[in-house]
Amino acid sequence: MWGRILFRTLVLLFAVSAAAEPPGPTPAPNAPPNRTLVIKGLGQGVVNIDGDWQFTLGDNPEYAKPNYDDGWWGKIGGTYDEWDTWGVQGHPSYTGFAWYRRHIDIQPTPGMTGQYQILIDYVEDAYEVYWNGKLIGSVGKMPPHPSWFYTNFPHTFPLEGSSKGVIAIRVWKAPLSIFQPSDLGGLSDPPVLGDPHTIDLEKNEILSDYIRADLFDYSLVLLRVFIGVLGVVLWYRNRKEQLFLWVAVFTVTPVALETLRQLILVPIPYGVARFINQPLYLLNAVSLWYLLVWLLNLHDNKKLLKWTNRLAWTAIGAGFIDGSLSLFWGWWSWSFHWMQWANAIVTAVFLVLQLFPFVLVVLGFRNKLDISRIVVAVVSLVLQALHTFADGSAFGARFTHITLFLSLIRAPLFHLPPGIEFPPERVLSLGLFAAILFATYRYILEAQARRMLLEGEVAGGREIQKVLVPDEIPQIDGFTITGSYTPMLEVGGDFFQVIPNDDGSAIIAVGDVSGKGIKAGMNVSMIVGVLRAEAGLTSPAEMLGSLNRCLAGRMSGGFATGVVFRIDKDGTVTFANAGHLAPFLNGQEFPLEASLPLGLIAYSDYSEITMQMQPGDTLTLYTDGVLEATNPVTKEMFGFDRMSKLFASGPSAVEAARAAIAFGQDDDVTVLIITRLHAGETGTTSVESPVLDPEKA
């Protein structure tokens, strides 16, 4: 009995141990018929792998294995027309990992090699493709340091080995930015299966569609680049005309933005492209601000210009911050929340700054504008309103699900062959571009007219200057006179006159009017007129008194300094001074009595002082342009000591003036040197005034 029990126990233990042994390898279970796509008679051609795909959120390496049971997964896909992203098909705003799986059975036509490829067009964002558990390709890079592309392009992957198995696609979607809607994620179209040759043709056709859609943008590239280069050249020739610089920036930045998107069909990493895109996008917006400032005649408003500069730096700085966030977007799960908040805050700054062009247009309409500027103002106002509403709608679309306005502005108004769409934003952008070019052309014509008018005024000023600073100095018996006059601008405020009298004496005047240019030249013309009217009739002091009465109240707060003296044939010199620098006699300063400049008060008395020039004596008169010549590097002035040494060396007027100019001209420079000759010597005169030379003027 005990033997039978022991035998039965051993048999039972053997049976249990046999049952506990691990099973040997088994083939992958066939999917149920309703989950296997049978592709019969596939030859040279393609077929969409549409229909229902198994789909699940999350991530697990087991999902790639062909024998994994995916029966509990959900379904996604549908027919080719029904296919869409997972955001549309029940998983809005989902970011992170998800898997697609599809069982397929390829039954090629007789004679085919069995070599097939799968074509996947648009996927957000990074993904990997598996065939029967083997990785056959990937696009982008998965976390923890993900990388994906700014623009998606089609990619092909070979199906090697068995013609029956499981396609598994692992997808990772980056966290949504504040502008991205909720309907994103995963595959936008079903994959396409076919032989390698036909798949290549299909891929090229997709790329050709991209190019055809951008044909109009390609045609604008050369025009925009040409206008941009021309604008830079015009600005470089005249840095004060900043309009041309901003025209160049406004026309070239869209080319750079389109190039980043897909203009050259080169995939660019999302972080890099976004880092470049955001500042460029804001720079384009800022360039429009400055164009409005110049075209609407607002650039003379210093306060407005200061605020424009501040807001421009704020906008571009915010663009750099937003672009910098993109470099690390999705790297660390713990940072998603605060990075999205930072993106939202920076985007809110963008939206507020988009209101600034409205302010510029309103202020611009207060000025008198021609039709070209009115068109620029109106079109920019409408386009900016469109951008502001569009961005505002996109800002909250993921949460409010209100997309009506976005749908309206994206709907094309018309098409041009071959399928080029023109939505409202593109039409208005092109209209603004054309209006700015036309307004800039009008601005150039106006600038040329102003320049011609100014050149006419300057030419008239030069004619006046010929009277103020004569081309030739009259001969004075017994004296040699040299003069040099170099204005800082085309027309200066310095003057000197040598007016001979009938008795052989001469009235000589040297002076300096505050200010420069045409205004100063007109004041000088008044002074010279009075001097010539009273020369030989009154004394130097009386001449200064008459000048002062004529100038008082007529110089808009300015004044003039001058020294007038009579020089007789016997060397007697009678000075009268009106706040001018003391002359030098034989290299030493000859002091004159202090007195008020001309034009400050209506009545002022001027005294006289007399001295005797001996044969061989030299009298030097000059303006403050010599004394105040400034070194442009060290900012050091020429100064009294250098000037004293210069005059003591006995230079001619030309040599003395050139020494000051070489040191660093900062004002009109005038020098007049008079030398009394010995008996029997013949006097000479010479004058240098470069501005009067037509070749140099």
User: Residue 589 burial by CB count (10 A; 0-12/13-18/19+): exposed, middle or buried?
Assistant: middle
Beta-bridged to residue 475, according to DSSP, are none
Taking the C-alpha atoms of residue 375 and residue 383, their distance in angstroms, rounded to an integer, is 12
> In the predicted model, is pLDDT for residue 415 greater than 80?
no
Q: Which residue has the tokens 């704020």?
A: 314
Answer whether 257's CB lies under 8 Å from 227's CB.
no
Instruction: For 329-339, give one letter per residue: b (16+ CB within 10 A) or e.
Output: bbbeeeebeeb
pLDDT value at position 682?
82
At 117-172, the pLDDT tens digits run 999 998 998 999 999 999 999 999 998 889 999 888 899 999 988 888 999 999 99
Tell me how far apart the alpha carbons of residues 354 and 388 are, in angstroms, rounded to a whole number. 6
The answer, yes or no, to whether residue 3 has pLDDT greater than 80, is no
Report pLDDT digits (tens) over 525-560: 778 888 888 887 889 998 898 888 888 877 777 889
Res. 692 pLDDT band, cuts 50 70 90? very low
| pLDDT tens by residue, 211-266 | 777 777 777 888 888 888 988 988 888 888 888 899 899 989 988 888 887 767 78
- State which of 17-31, 208-222, 226-240, 637-651 shows the largest mean pLDDT: 637-651
Q: What is the mean pLDDT of the chain?
A: 83
Which residues are within 8 A (CB) of 115 and not within 5 positions of it... i.e. 6 or more apart? 158, 195, 196
CA 509 – CA 497 distance, rounded (Å): 5
pLDDT category of residue 432 using cuts at 50, 70 and 90: confident
- How much is the pLDDT for 20? 32
Q: What's the whole-number mean pLDDT along residues 623-648? A: 91
Least confident of 286-290, 330-334, 624-628, 638-642: 330-334
Contact 246, 228 (CB under 8 A): no
In this predicted structure, what is the pLDDT of residue 418? 67
Tell me, what's the pLDDT at 37? 87
Confidence of residue 439 (pLDDT cuts 50, 70, 90): confident
- Segment 40-69, tens digit of pLDDT: 878 788 899 999 999 999 999 999 999 999
The arrangement of strands across the sheet holding 506-513 comes to 494-500, 506-513, 560-567, 572-578, 608-612
The pLDDT of 76-81, averaged and rounded, is 87
Q: Using a pLDDT cut of 70, give the percent of the chain over it.
A: 86
Nearest alpha-carbon partner for 154 in 193, 186, 202? 202
pLDDT at residue number 442: 85
Alpha helices in 259-370 (DSSP H): 270-295, 302-327, 336-353, 356-364
CB of 582 closer than 8 Å to CB of 619: no
DSSP for 350-381? HHHHTTHHHHHHHHHTTS---HHHHHHHHHHH
Mode of pairing for the β-strands spanning 192-194 and 116-120? antiparallel
**pLDDT at 487 > cutoff 50:** yes
The count of other CB atoms within 10 Å of the CB of residue 361 is: 18
278 CB-contact burial (10 Å; exposed 0-12 / middle 13-18 / buried 19+) = buried
Rg of the Cα atoms in the chain: 44
Q: What is the token pair recorded at 136?
A: 């056959």
Every domain of the chain and the residues it spans: 33-208, 369-466, 469-692
Alpha-carbon dihedral sign for residues 398, 401, 403, 405: negative
Residue range 204-210: mean pLDDT, rounded = 85
Distance CA 231, CA 243 (A): 8
* Residue 320 confidence class, pLDDT cut points 50, 70, 90: very high
The share of the chain scoring above pLDDT 90, in percent, equals: 34
Looking at CATH, the fold of the domain delimited by 469-692 is given as Phosphatase 2c; domain 1 (3.60.40)
* Distance, CA of 610 to CA of 576 (rounded, Å): 9
Per-residue pLDDT at 396: 62
- pLDDT value for 293: 92
pLDDT digits (tens, 9 = 90+) for 364-385: 888 888 888 888 888 888 888 8
Question: Is-contact 596 604, C-beta < 8 A?
Answer: yes
**Minimum mean pLDDT range among 293-297, 426-430, 627-631:** 426-430
Question: Model confidence over 393-414: pLDDT tens digits?
Answer: 776 666 666 665 566 667 777 7
Query: Is the pLDDT at 474 greater than 50, yes or no?
Result: yes
List, for residues 491-527, the tens digit of each pLDDT value: 677 888 898 988 889 999 999 888 666 667 677 777 8
- What's residue 100's pLDDT? 97
pLDDT digits (tens, 9 = 90+) for 672-686: 999 999 988 887 888
CATH of domain 33-208: 2.60.120.260
Least confident of 106-115, 182-191, 567-576: 106-115
pLDDT at 538: 86
- In this model, does residue 1 exceed pLDDT 60? no
